[in-house]
Structure 1
Amino acid sequence: MSASTSGTGTSPAQAIRAAISTLGQFEWRMKQQVSNPLAGEYRSVFRGKGMEFDQVVRYTYGDDVRDIDWKVTARMREPYRKKFVEERELTILIVFEDRLSLQFGSAGRSKRDALLELICQVMMLAAENRDRIGIIHARPGGYRLTKPVRGRDAIMHAAAKLLAEPPPELNDTRPVRVPWRFVGQAAPRHSVLVWGGDFAPQAEPLGWTMMKGRYRVLGFRVDDPWERELPTDQPLTIYDPMAQHLVVLDPRAKDQRAAHAEWVAKREERFAALFRDPRERLVVLADGSMPEALARFFQGHMAAH
């Protein structure tokens, strides 16, 4: 099922019901496709150790192994870990940059659908960890704000509303402008900003340095397999939503392959400039497993500490 459930002839209520069903599928995949629970790894990556020590408790499967108290473990002859009292409530602010280029998909699944699944899985983990979620959905011609909410019901409703939003019309040529000045004030200091988008080569947002000083920033990008490597067998006729017309792609032509390689290099350069720490960047393939991608992202963070 497509993550984007709303369409022509579908009422808002029907779209929300379909989106709730899709969220159930996302949740099932999170439980089935990764060997370890993601909740503990989420806490380690998003919350870190900005907490006060509370007490020592028995270690249970899925807890962060870095919290194990080895002295108590040796004395009790079974694993115990340190438990912390959270000093503050964490807010996750999601910016979904809904550009037309996200609707491309060479493998039966669009980048938009994959990115929405990735975002919704972060939202479900936030709900499980009693964090707050806010959303800024920027699309051609404007944006919609979901103020930060907490609690599973409220967060799942916000995720369902996001999924139920239909993709922008392919003939909508209005620009997509993220209201960055507003984003800079939309959540408390030290919140986590998750920017999900296509990240074609683009200039740094106005005030980005200030934003990185206020928030912890993460960039989530979904690539189509053709963006990594062009097929080489024969010319293809495809619709370019950005140019608004059909184009013929001939990967056998040296000039086209050179232009593609140049675009890929510029894109990677700009993405790395926005998120300088490699641990701030998550790039996945649209036809891959989003839960497994999140697990690798979390494990990479934990291994670096």
Structure 2
Amino acid sequence: MSTATTPGEVARKAPLALLRKLEWRVRMAADSFLGGEYRSAFRGRGREFDQVVKYEFGDDVRDVDWNVSARLGELYRKKFIEERELTVVILFEDTPALQFGSGQRTKREALLELAGLFALTAAGNRDRVGFWHATPAGHHVRQPVRGRVNIVRTAATLLGQPIPKLEDGPEASLEWKLFFHAFPKHSIVLWLGDFPPRPVGPGWAALRKRYEMIGVRVDDPWDIQLPSLGILPAVDPESGEVLAFDMGTKDSQQRHAQWVAEREAAWQEWFPSPLQRLTAGTEGDLLEPMVTFFRRRMQGVRR
């Protein structure tokens, strides 16, 4: 009997293998701080005490009622009326530009890892998770589900989506009217993408009114600072052309600096508040900027 693994099986197993690694990291972080940071970032702290309930994995340790726990011999926490199940929607804007990477991983790979971290964190807090995968060729939707097993399966489906084809074009199809019908009002929408310089489009105001929109962007080191390496052959991920790009000229450096400024201005126009946008890098740990973002939101919510 042959035990060879087919390419299709590898493609299916790879997202699950990555999610297992990410889940271990999320659990380790949740035991110390991540669970509480996540809850406070999106829910705020309890404003009105409701009852005492058993402490479960992912609960904020700061809500533990130590007197009740000592009397009953197991952990109990205070529950507040404001607590509710959240719906988290991962909107992944998958474009050819995300296939760029000057280091060990591309921007697409880093964003997918962040998507996995967000999904697993939401699963640990007993929230619902769904996704909208938008590409130049169309979109793929998964309705929000609850429960760890279902959420892991949903996240694996997102991580296993094929890379967009260059011939389909540079921009993803974002059909907001369909998006409105797909996901419930007041959902937390984590919009992951490259966010090139572009004007705020029609329907954005209605989108922000219906959902809590959060932008998530990953920058390659070359997005921030173009190194002076002289003439370098490069593949344009949007056109597929191989170009001879002279990175050392003054003109190249100036045009890149202008692009960086325009991109950042557009980023802040889409998401004016620092509580609405998260920027991470392709190099290094991705959990750290996510936790920092949760803390920043938590502090902003409490003010």
Q: TM-score, normalised by structure 1?
A: 0.85
Match of 1:5 in 2: none
Q: Give the equivalent residue in structure 2 for 1:3.
A: none
Please point out which of 266, 287, 293 is paired with 1:297. Answer: 293
Instruction: Identify the range of structure 1 (157-166 vs 48-57) with the bigger mean alpha-carbon deviation.
Output: 48-57
> In structure 2, what is the equivalent of residue 270 of structure 1?
266
Asked if the contact 2:46/2:81 (under 8 Å) is kept, the reply is no
Distance of 2:291 and 2:228 partners within structure 1: 32
Give the match for residue 248 of structure 1: 244
Q: Partners of 2:221 and 2:170 in 1: how far apart?
A: 27
Give the alignment partner of residue 38 of structure 1, picking from 34, 39, 54: 34
Cα distance 1:130–1:251, how it changes in 2: closer, same or farther (>3 A)?
same
1:10 is aligned to 2:7? yes
Structure 1 vs Structure 2: percent identity of aligned residues? 45
Q: Give the secondary structure class of the aligned counterpart of 1:184.
A: helix
CA contact 2:86–2:127 (8 Å) conserved in 1 = yes
CA contact (8 A) 2:189 2:211 kept: yes
Q: Is the 8 A contact 1:41 1:299 kept in 2?
A: yes
Contact 2:42 2:297 survives alignment (8 Å): no
What letter matches 1:219 in structure 2? G
Note if 1:97 corresponds to 2:80. Answer: no
Shift of 1:66: 7.3
Assess, with a 3 A threshold, how the Cα gap between structure 1 residues 122 and 61 changes in structure 2: closer, same or farther.
closer
Q: Which runs of 5+ in 1 are unaligned?
A: 1-8, 73-79
- From the superposition, tell whether residues 288 and 32 of structure 1 become closer, same or farther in structure 2 (CA, over 3 Å): farther
1:137-286 to structure 2, matched below 5 A, reads 137-173=133-169, 175-286=171-282
1:205-246 deviations in whole A, cap 9, x for unaligned? Answer: 321101111111100000110001011243221101123312
Check whether the contact 2:35–2:60 (CA below 8 A) recurs between aligned residues.
no
* Matched position secondary structure for 2:143: strand
Displacement of 1:182: 1.6
Q: CA deviation at 1:175?
A: 4.1
Alignment partner of 1:107 is 2:98? no
C-alpha separation in 1, matches of 2:127 and 2:55: 23
Paired with 2:35 and 2:201, the residues of 1 have a C-alpha distance of: 32
Match for 1:165: what amino acid? Answer: Q
Query: Displacement, 1:293?
Result: 1.3
Secondary structure of 2:7's match? coil
> In structure 1, how many angstroms separate the alpha carbons of the residues matched to 2:251 and 2:29?
41
2-side partners of 1:62 and 1:236: how far apart? Answer: 48
Between stretches 40-49 and 259-268, larger displacement belongs to 40-49
Q: CA deviation at 1:19?
A: 1.4
Q: Contact 1:36–1:62 (CA<8 Å) still a contact in 2?
A: no
Q: Contact 1:102–1:110 at 8 Å: present in 2 too? A: yes
Task: List per-residue Cα deviations over 1:130-179 (Å, max 9, x = no partner).
Answer: 11111110112110110111111111001111111221233443742111
AA of the residue aligned to 1:121: L
Q: Distance in 2 between matches of 1:194 and 1:292?
A: 17
Higher deviation after alignment, 134-143 or 28-37: 28-37
CA gap 1:84/1:50 in 2 versus in 1, 3 angstroms: closer
Maintained 8 Å contact 2:188/2:212:
yes
Asked if structure 1 preserves the Cα contact closer than 8 Å seen for 2:30 and 2:36, the reply is no
| TM-score calculated relative to the size of structure 2 | 0.85
| Partner Cα distance (2:200, 2:255) in 1 | 23
- Cα deviations by residue, 1:30-87 (Å, 9 ceiling, x for unpaired): 3567993312211111222477522368999986587589xx9xxxxxxx97422455
How far is 1:280 from its partner?
Answer: 0.7
Distance of aligned partners of 1:101 and 1:124 in 2 relative to their CA distance in 1, 3 Å threshold: same
How far is 1:288 from its partner?
2.3
Question: How far apart are the structure 1 equivalents of 2:143 and 2:186?
Answer: 17
| Paired residues, number | 290
| Residue 134 of structure 2 is aligned to residue 131 of structure 1 | no
User: Alpha carbons of 1:155 and 1:68: their partners in 2 closer, same or farther (altered >3 Å)?
Assistant: closer
